[in-house]
Structure 1
């Protein structure tokens, strides 16, 4: 069954509830976990904690609630300061979510805020001070009230400094101690000499208070500004040596390599694309238990590659040999391959604790990154047609001579890759005191066979069928997911490939009338089978492909090459769409247009002749145009109506009974007031 229960993160700093008490993981030493609360300290093994979590005895702790007493007692000055700092922090995150504390991004945030101020001059602090604001904001779970200096009361001697003095002290620390690399004593002397001119009326803090402010800065931040990024990275790598592992499976790491090496189809010798390889690495024994390869014409470090790699590492070979088993902890970056929904569902079936690290931080996964370097130098650089490794967000173009330099086929590349992994697992390693990873693995597994766990081993009760079903689902699970409907006798159609079986039709025959969509898991690494899950339950069926040309397993690129093989010698035709406006149609349209124009001309001649007959009937000579206009003008003047004049002063006795008396001549005698209409 597919479980969607979230994984329990077994890392330092994780808080949870045990026996109605809040505990925090203080330290992880090998397989032992030290728990600390306000009243006691306990030690458990990782297996015991996982078991109690499954039984519900351990539950994730809810986030701590913050007091709002300071919020209610804020002064107007503090509230204005809080809003200004919040605006700076949010603009920094908007400029660059991945690197908001970079100096360039902070200055861009300042410029954007200045543009929105409508001409008001704003005094911005040092960029190091803004970085500290962001750290406080993030440490408080994005709480804006943490940006107020007295939000978290401290017991240090500098807790009572005025806000203006704290800002000046912070600026001097970043400007003189970090950037100019002066000693804290000399930086304090500069502050003491310039304090009266910068803040007249304020007292300079003591040297001990200044030293306390210096000690509050993060050590990595100090190393980065005083010694550079290389020294900071070296210090972080030294800090990573705290990993103390004592058994296999205690920590695995996964990562991918995108190699610019063109590969050919073993049948048609056509270019298929570049290789993306993902490895799983056991950090204690240095064994590579499994890997997966995806051939594509673009960078393809996706969820299906991650799922396939983890399956190959966990499951044994067909003869039962190899390095296999479920790890306790899996560490990977926050790329889309490991944060996608299919991979999350896949990991929920295994009860493996996931540790997600920051992207572009190789020091968070030191073991797999070191192996990637060994793989590039020891294997890829010796292969013909290799053009380097693509970095994150680097564009890839087929025109970069990758296709022209392609020499190896997919089968030849897989043979070379398998030979390198076998040699790596069997050769001596200096970190293992010249022992091979294979011998160290076999030594610990022979002494502790219970370390090897497979999916389904954790099924409670005596239910071998359920355990076998879970193992079967894990084996055939894929990294791509779509919704599809059952199409009668055709089965399931995935990317124009048909998958069908008797078991599929019998299991989901009740959906033929309802037309409900089924969840189908598939990938491009092996297209021979798909997993179909019911929409109403977690029942699943593994369905094979109906195409007899597909061998198990076979990738999509190889399948496409086989489909195109019968037509490889035939040149491709033009892809120009058919145009209905050919010369025949154009001639017919021109003929029709000419007919319409002739008809319009004919109608115009008919109307002209009809008008001439009407004017001739009325007795008008149409021979001369000016005579026609003169005749029309005389006719209008003869038929024009005469003006009517009414005498309003006429006595009442002289009433007009006949309307003909009202019509007066044009030159009537003047008398009284008249109205002319």
Structure 2
């Protein structure tokens, strides 16, 4: 029978392309044979002396390499120095090795470096060494001396019951040398964990350098090692968080955001907007010597795995702007080295001389108390940070004098200028970078964080476009620094409508989302503290007791009337808070004053109630 062949047969027989050298395992690697330079100097000199001797004999020898031919030549060459004269057989062996190695000088190196005892001198103690090794390979990371002590104690106890042929104990030096000769990676895994072991021993690939500005941009957060003061109260506020964006090609700073709020989508969005828009330094507050021309739409934004970078708002906004987001693997900050290195430069070159500097390492702090020595106000720091970035860092060369950041930016800008946003695109991008949320459209507009948003334009929209259960939920964008208005996406109109807050007291003017939440929290706490909890509890218990009394009274009653009938009686008796509270009718003075009038019959009145009401209407 012929073998079945189809279009897949050929593809399975094709060999896979060879992997790049950096991904080949050691066992599969092709090693180049060692050369003479890999040996110690004294062995290299001896090998070269052998080569020179063979070369001289080769020139003077006219026949074969025999004792008759070689002895006269050796006697002549080593006349007066017979101690160093080699035997003719030794010279023949050297020449043979040299020829068989195709002229490799390493073949003339003495093999003395391979001499030595390569077998264990002691036997029977391997089991105890393995036990001690298990104690050494522990996450608590005991010392070698501790493992060796256990090794000695275990053998000593075992030898107590042995008369002849006791188990020998190797020295600490031999024990330590045996530990050091073990493969380092499994030891690191057992003592420090796989993550640390991979950090120490894994292959570290180099970054593919970008070829133009804004091709690759890195962003990250860090708490600054500096305590700042409140602008007016001059009280220490603690360490602020810095969100920074750096261009990899030029190493220029594109934008930043400084805040005391923990890193979040808001801080990332503010820094991105600052990086993309042109920088106006007129409102910085101080006069700078240079401009800050670094801005534009970047191609790839490299982020880590922080929750703020996995935000849907950030993903949607960057996609709309044509920005690709690249996520670094978890706990691998070295794959984002440029912004990490810049944080170190800030601490080393900018914060060092400012009083109030803290230390990342508690051991470096000693007796220094930064909160007592802090002197710089927050706004002053922002001004001086602008000066350091624009007039110092951008204008100075790096530590190796290979580039000046601003010159590298200008060079890249002249060759391949980046894309820039129009005024309309910037306005749209500012809206897109807001916090995304979903709210229900009601007759009163939208409600967000206890604030109402409505406008005549939104009212006109409700009049013209009917809403269903699904479409009544709208996507809104909130600027966390300004709650005076929101932007609502209206699908029928194909865009975002700006809707102001209906507050007329001026409360939302310049109000941020964080401030609003703090105010609400304080207000709730104030209301809770002002309540008379004891009086409320007594009143609720009194109501509960009264209800129980009414229940008991009802259970004792023998009246079994239907609810509609009782309701009619209540209407007839005019039960209200200004009238009486029972349907039982008393003989009134009015009724007794009417002569020859029989006492009203409640059943007859109820039967004719509906007819009387209809006739009255």
Short-chain TM bin: 0.3 to 0.5
Q: Given the two structures, how large is their TM-score scaled by the length of structure 1? A: 0.43
If asked which structure has higher relative contact order (CA below 8 Å, sep 6+), I would say 1
